[in-house]
Amino acid sequence: MPAFINCLETEELTSELRVYLKDKGAEFPDENTNDGDIVKDITDILSVTDVVFKAEPSSEEVEWVFNSFVSLITLIPQDRHEGLVNMLCDKLNGSDNTSVAKLKVLRSLFHGLDVHSSYRFVVYYTMVCLASKSDLVAMLKPNLQQIKTWIGQWDVSTQKYQSLLRALHEGLIECKSEMASSVMIELLGTYTEDNASQARDDAQKCIVTCISDPQTFIMDHLLTLKPVKFLEGEPIHDLLTIFVSGLLQEYIQFFEAKPDFISSIGLTNEVCQHKMRILTMMTLAETQQEISFDKLQKEMRLPSEEVESFIIDVVRTQVIRCKLDQINERVIFSSNTQRTFGKAQWTQLREELVDWQRNLSQVLGSLDSLVHHVTPVQPPAPAAAEIEGPK
């Protein structure tokens, strides 16, 4: 198997690539027509690399061949990268049994370019698209904060950033990553009042993603996003409102009124009901300290034999802490997560902090008073040491 190495002589490397690709069946125009233009030479060679994939190459072969182009690109001036970077990314943006090798090559190209090069965006976008098609997003180890930093360095347009976030979101959805909802929320945050109407599809995807995510229970922040506000009055917005602050009974009424809507947006009634039961339980824990099994069964519309297993499922989500009193058949709440946190919750928190400060001041005052009334006990005088003369 031929292997290409990094070398300083680009002509030597392009010559090796030509020989290799000719053996694969590639046809080249007359080499003399390039007039010594190395970029034109690399372009001609790269344009016929489809023959590599027609021969069903191994992953090692793909890495060897295309890493040679990475070496060539990094050896030429940055202002001549654009056409070559775009062509290389286009050649590698196809899902097959060598997708892992292709991602490795693209990663080498990404890190071979200057950190402020805008061509890095093209490479990373290709990596995201390829990983999404190949179910390899986890291999990228995406970090939203790092991506935002890169976008600032590359100085790309908002439209391109939105395209990247959409592609990343699709891949995260496929691999069932919890990061999917964060990426979609970031995407919606890139819209303004002027273009919020253009984000209708993105806004709906965001709502659906959050509702279907088994780890997402707090969704009131979605209502403040401009693209989501634009959906007010539509069924999808009504559904979100129920999941933000409604109860199971309200969801059931919504489903019975629009039985086909849930499936039309990619959700299932079973998943929605299960999450609404958990959300309803959170609301109950906000307003009362305990609840009987019988009342819980009626509120959740569950068979009596499933009540305890449901409570255990809720506790596993860590949105509620409670104890099961099986003898008296009741649930005793010890703490809970607030579904919404608005002005009323801030007011309540302020009142609790003021009470806590007042009580602490009283305790400190009592301690000061106690210290002033206690007479200090003088330690006993040390016994005189017996002095002995020399023996």
Report the pLDDT value the prediction gives residue 279, as an integer from 0 to 100. Answer: 95
Query: Is there a contact between 290 and 333 (Cβ–Cβ < 8 Å)?
Result: yes
Task: Give mean pLDDT in consecutive 10-residue pieces for the chain, a chain of 391 residues.
Answer: 49 86 81 70 90 88 92 86 92 91 95 92 96 92 94 92 94 87 92 86 92 90 91 95 95 95 95 95 91 93 92 91 90 88 63 82 82 64 52 46
Tell the residue number behind the tokens 């360095």, with chain if given.
Answer: 153
What 8-state DSSP symbol labels residue 331? E
Report the pLDDT value the prediction gives residue 357, as an integer from 0 to 100. Answer: 85
Q: How far apart are the C-alpha atoms of 239 and 156, rounded to whole Å?
A: 35
Report the pLDDT value the prediction gives residue 8, as an integer from 0 to 100. Answer: 45
What 8-state DSSP symbol labels residue 294? H
Report the pLDDT value the prediction gives residue 31, as an integer from 0 to 100. Answer: 58
What 8-state DSSP symbol labels residue 177? -
Q: How far apart are the C-alpha atoms of 200 and 208, rounded to whole Å?
A: 12
| Residue 205 forms part of a structural domain | no
| Residue 171 forms part of a structural domain | no
Structure tokens that stand for 328 in this block: 């008296």
Structure tokens that stand for 237 in this block: 């917005």
Report the pLDDT value the prediction gives residue 13, as an integer from 0 to 100. Answer: 85
Range of the domain at 104: 1-131
Out of 321, 336, 351, pick the residue that ends a domain: 336
Query: Is there a contact between 39 and 80 (Cβ–Cβ < 8 Å)?
Result: yes
The full 3-state SS of 42-78, as one line of letters, equals HHHHHCCCHHHHHCCCCHHHHHHHHHHHHHHHHHCCH
Report the pLDDT value the prediction gives residue 387, as an integer from 0 to 100. Answer: 46
Provide the CATH number for the domain around residue 303.
Answer: 1.10.10.10
| Residue 157 forms part of a structural domain | no
pTM above 0.85, yes or no: no
Report the pLDDT value the prediction gives residue 174, as an integer from 0 to 100. Answer: 85
Q: How far apart are the C-alpha atoms of 333 and 291, rounded to whole Å?
A: 8
Structure tokens that stand for 98 in this block: 């060598």
Sign, Cα dihedral of 272, 278, 280, 286: negative
Out of 131, 165, 192, pick the residue that ends a domain: 131
Sign, Cα dihedral of 299, 300, 305, 307: negative
Report the pLDDT value the prediction gives residue 376, as an integer from 0 to 100. Answer: 60
Total domains in the chain come to 2
| Residue 144 forms part of a structural domain | no
What are the φ and ψ backbone dihedral angles of 243, each rounded to 5 degrees?
-75, -20
| Residue 318 forms part of a structural domain | yes
| Residue 332 forms part of a structural domain | yes
Helix (H) / strand (E) containing 305: none
Q: How far apart are the C-alpha atoms of 85 and 68, rounded to whole Å?
A: 13
Look at the chain and count its residues: 391
| Residue 206 forms part of a structural domain | no
Out of 336, 358, 376, pick the residue that ends a domain: 336
Query: Is there a contact between 144 and 182 (Cβ–Cβ < 8 Å)?
Result: yes
| Residue 137 forms part of a structural domain | no
